Structure 1
Amino acid sequence: MHLLHDRGRPLPAPVPVPRDAAGARRLAAVYAPPPDRVHVRAMMNTTVDGAVSGADGISGSLRNPDDSFAFGVLRALADVILVGARTVREEDYRRPQGRADLLEPSRRPGGGPRPALAILTRTGLLPRTIEPDWPTYLLVPRASREAVVAAGIVPADQVLAADAPADAVARLAEMGHRAIQAEGGPGALGQLVAAGVVDELCFSLTHRTVGGSSSRVLDGPAHEQDWHLASLIVGERATLTRYTRA
């Protein structure tokens, strides 16, 4: 892979980003979250023709070496991975650790030993693969919290009341998480972006077409926001773009 655009400006010459430890450190420097404030990053994989899932209906089949490398680095930079319940059920989310050689010393603003997992859910209906001993939070409407706590999926202090996207971000910040990485699905990202709580959009554009009727990356309320291209990395199998909110 090669870095062509960084800090909002084109580079005079392409900078190599190999898929090794040195390349991971270089990529981590490009994507480093701000250390002094809450920052919400959305990260999604999509295809050349705009699909967010393959023929099997899940995003996992779109993965490739460039995309997997980037995801590993970005997860290692996040205090918490935020994801919708449907994606957890379909994609078997658990232990979102990130790239091991970037975990120590911690590059996460909150300083935790590993990224936590936060799940947006209205009902608490989650797969048995959820591991309560991994730092896991459930973000639920205030009216549903008591019932979700009673279900005993995670300890009561990890069931956080959030009626709106801004509430979800605030609750995670109160738990000490400043670098929040939202990974979908499209419905969850659509709500977060439309609410104006997402600071950065990061896309891994897989060099593939799949056709069909896959959802778009943001599937939520109509809105208009302007974004600036912050960085551009081109690989053999994927193109990585990063946009910051104007």
Structure 2
Amino acid sequence: MHLLMRDSVLLPTPAPVTADAVGARLLAELYAVSPPPGSVHVRAMMNTTIDGAVAGADGTSGSLRNPEDSFVFDVLRALTDVVLVGAETVRVEDYRRPLGRADLLRPSRRPGGAARPALAIWSRSGVLPESIEVDQPTYLLTGSDVAEQAARRAGIPPEQVIVADTAAEALQQLAARGLRAVQAEGGPAALGRLAAAGLLDELCFSTTHRTVGGPASRVLRGAGHDQAWQLSSLLVGHHATISRYRRC
């Protein structure tokens, strides 16, 4: 890959980003965030195709993965305190143990300082795959009207159940637990909820150099909104283009 833009400025000469420890450190510095105490920084990270699909023919985003996409995802997961994801996506994708690139874990680059990211799952039903590991730690985000039933179905300990009726309340409660760098990885309904509430600070996309057609969903699905974004960084590889937008 090559880095073409940094901090919204085109580089005079594209900078190579090697798929090794050196390239990983470069990306870690590029994407590093340090939210003030008590506040959160919410980064959305999604894989799409050139024609805007967020899933391949098998209905999962995993089938769109490629070496460049996987490299960037691995770096970003080493920088986040918590991976936030909707239950529908958890049921389709593999979310057993998000961790991050091994050579970026010590010392911790997460604002909260933990060795691994927590996993926070938005679910009203509490229906989660058996593969989910409670000691991740895994948090269940659910509404006040269904919290008791959802927690019972999910098998999540009471101290790991976050009752929140709005996206803002959910983020506030994550921040209260020291989880201030949030990486939202979908699905489209979860991201749409955050976007409609004006809570996304960054949109990061890995655009796989493929088209798939079909009825696949777009990145954001939910209430309408109008938000301007500024392109902050741009990486281009053989398999994917990696873009990062910051809210204006």
Letter aligned with residue 31 of structure 2: Y
Post-superposition Cα deviations, 1:173-209, rounded to whole Å, max 9, x if no partner, equal 0110110000000111111111101100000000001
Q: Which residue of 1 aligns with 2:13?
A: 13
Equivalent of 2:54, from 38, 52, 73?
A: 52
Structure 2 match to 1:130: 132
Q: Which amino acid aligns with 2:80?
A: A
Q: Distance in 2 between matches of 1:35 and 1:224?
A: 25
- 147-156 or 74-83, which moves further after superposition? 147-156
Paired-residue identity, %: 63
Q: Which residue number in structure 2 is paired with residue 86 of structure 1? A: 88
Partner of 2:227: 225
1:86 maps to amino acid: E
Residues 80 and 183 in structure 2, CA contact (< 8 A), matched pair in contact too:
yes
Question: Normalising to structure 1: TM-score of the pair?
Answer: 0.98
- Helix, strand or coil: the match of 2:78? helix
CA distance in 1, matches of 2:3, 2:77: 19
Aligned length: 246
Residues 15-67 of structure 1: per-residue CA shift (max 9 Å, x gap): 11011110000011111112434200000000001000001111100000000
Deviation at 1:92, TM superposition (A): 2.4
Amino acid paired to 2:60 = I
Output the TM-score relative to the length of structure 2: 0.97
- Where do residues 123-162 of structure 1 align in structure 2 (5 Å cutoff)? 123-151=125-153, 153-162=155-164
Q: 1:68 is matched with which residue? A: 70
Look up the match of 2:28. Answer: 28
Q: Could you tell me how far 1:149 is from its partner in structure 2?
A: 3.2
CA distance in 1, matches of 2:111, 2:35: 5
CA distance in structure 2 between the partners assigned to 1:128 and 1:147 by the alignment: 17
Question: Matches of 1:121 and 1:151 in 2, distance apart?
Answer: 11
Separation of aligned partners in 1, 2:19 and 2:73:
12
Deviation at 1:147, TM superposition (A): 1.9
- Please tell me the residue identity of whatever aligns with 1:201: L
Q: Is the 8 A contact 2:123 2:150 kept in 1?
A: no
Unaligned runs of 5+ in 1: none
1:168 Cα deviation after fit: 1.2
Task: Within 5 Å, give how 1:195-214 maps onto structure 2.
Answer: 195-214=197-216
Tell me the equivalent position of 1:243. Answer: 245
Asked whether the equivalents of residues 127 and 153 of structure 2 are also in contact (C-alpha less than 8 Å), the reply is: no
Please list every run of 5 or more consecutive structure 2 residues that lacks an aligned counterpart in the other structure: none
What is the Cα deviation at residue 148 of structure 1?
2.7
Residue aligned with 1:244, SS: strand
- 1:220 maps to a residue whose letter is G
**Post-superposition offset of 1:152:** 5.9
Counterpart position of 1:168: 170
Superposition misfits of 4+ residues, deviation over 3 angstroms:
149-152
Partner-residue secondary structure (3-state), 1:77: coil
Match among 107, 114, 117 for residue 116 of structure 2: 114
Contact 1:148 1:159 in 2 (8 A): no
Give the match's secondary structure for 1:15: strand
Q: Does 1:186 align with 2:188?
A: yes
CA shift at 1:162, angstroms?
1.1
